[in-house]
Amino acid sequence: MKFNRRHFLISLSSGLGLAFYSCKNLQQIQTTNVKEIDSKTTTNSTVSSSAIPTSSVSAPKGMFAPKRGDVRLVVISDLNSSYGSTTYQTQVEKTIPLIPELQPDLLLCAGDMIAGQKLSLTEKNIQAMWDGFDRYIATPLRQAKLPFGITMGNHDASGYFKKYGDEYVYKKERRQAQNYWRKHQNDLNISFLEADRFPFYYSFIHQEIFYLIWDASTFDIPTQQLEWAEKSLGSNQAQIAKMRIVMGHLPLYAVAVGRNKFGDVLTKTEKLQNLLEKYNVHLYISGHHHAYFPGYKGNLKLLYTGALGSGPRVLLNSNLPPRNTLTVLDINKEQNKIFYTTYDMKTMTVVNPQELPEKITGLNGFVLREPEVVLPS
């Protein structure tokens, strides 16, 4: 996806509502709590919400309201607390009822909805965690009738195999996750294309966008699953879609302190990137690193979703404090453009993207920051 360079000007309004007007090479948006900037966009850039050709705005009271694109996604990840916990931290409980007010067309969760991956947890313990998830997270979202796509995290249903043989180390957790999600599969309100291996890997289409969810709950995606992914991405349904998005828990490249090590990123990174680029995947969404970073490498956008729950982390090459975040994606389908707005959910303010490192280099390569231009005041 290529973006032309543009200059955007954001000016402060004092409660007069939203007005915008344009002239050659200039766009202006009035919002509350936004300061004037002058910034350029380049290839793979994330640009100001003022560039989205629609006037509809929506956000909870007191939060910056980006203008909607053709499709709006809300993305959350890593909701859990300590091992075995059946409850959630305050910012998680506060955020869930706000999500419907953002009026997303689809909600995505990049994994770690519960706090498993501990061998001492019993079947009863694991079921209690999913009961807690249902009570605090899933039920409010079901009541709002939001379409919802999920991927398994390492703390939900780790796909780690025993050293010898083909048996899962955390088979109890895999079984309980499958039981819970098969029971609630129809509650997700999405149109499945392939669901034989749901909730571990599957595909669906929603508002002309193709979504492939793979099982990246561990560092190695099995060959059989990669063969399925290639066939699915190459299908006619995927290729005629306006856009293709892939989601998995572990990322391709390291971006966070404490996660810059083998086992916390996917292996065969070059092979995976080549696969996604071969089929013109626009965006790969991941969690696990507990740090928000809107990146890209080559022709592939990489959204690192921050942790909404416990243990947010610091980015590599950064002195910024860790933050609990939620990200809104507004998509222009005709131009294949994606516009990010990310909130710090403890302060309810927009994350200033220009504070983030321009480049992060980890153990298996580097990632560049998308040159975003929306800045909070």
Question: In this predicted model, what pLDDT tens digit does every residue of 46-64 receive, in sequence order?
Answer: 333 334 434 456 788 889 9
Residues 352-372 pLDDT 10s? 888 999 999 999 999 999 975
Residue scoring higher pLDDT (375 or 216): 216
Mean pLDDT of the chain: 86
Lowest-confidence segment of 27-31, 114-118, 241-245 by average pLDDT:
27-31
Instruction: Give the CA distances from residue 172 to residues 155, 163, 295, in Å, rounded to whole numbers and listed in that order.
Output: 12, 17, 35
Whether this prediction's pTM lies above 0.75 is answered by yes
- Whether pLDDT at 38 is above 60: no
CB 176 within 8 A of CB 152: no
Amino acid at position 307, single letter: A
pLDDT digits (tens, 9 = 90+) for 100-122: 999 999 999 999 999 999 999 99
The whole-angstrom separation of Cα 18 and Cα 29 is 7
Measured from the Cβ of residue 58, the count of other Cβ atoms closer than 10 Å reads 16
| Exposed / middle / buried, residue 5 (Cβ in 10 Å: 0-12, 13-18, 19+) | exposed
CA distances to 181, 205, 248, 324 from 83, in Å: 20, 34, 21, 19
Give the domain ranges of the chain: 45-369
d(CA 184, CA 131): 12
Q: Give the residue-averaged pLDDT of 169-180.
A: 97
User: Is residue 104 reached through a cis peptide bond, with omega within 30 degrees of 0 on the bond before it?
Assistant: no
Q: Which pLDDT score is estimated for 56? A: 58
Give me the pLDDT at residue 164, please. Answer: 73
Residue 87 pLDDT grade (very low, low, confident, very high; cuts 50, 70, 90): very high
The DSSP call for residue 264 is S
Mean pLDDT is lowest, of 27-36, 133-142, 306-315, for 27-36
Superfamily name and number for 45-369: Metallo-dependent phosphatases (3.60.21.10)
For 9-23, the pLDDT digits (tens) are 333 333 333 333 333
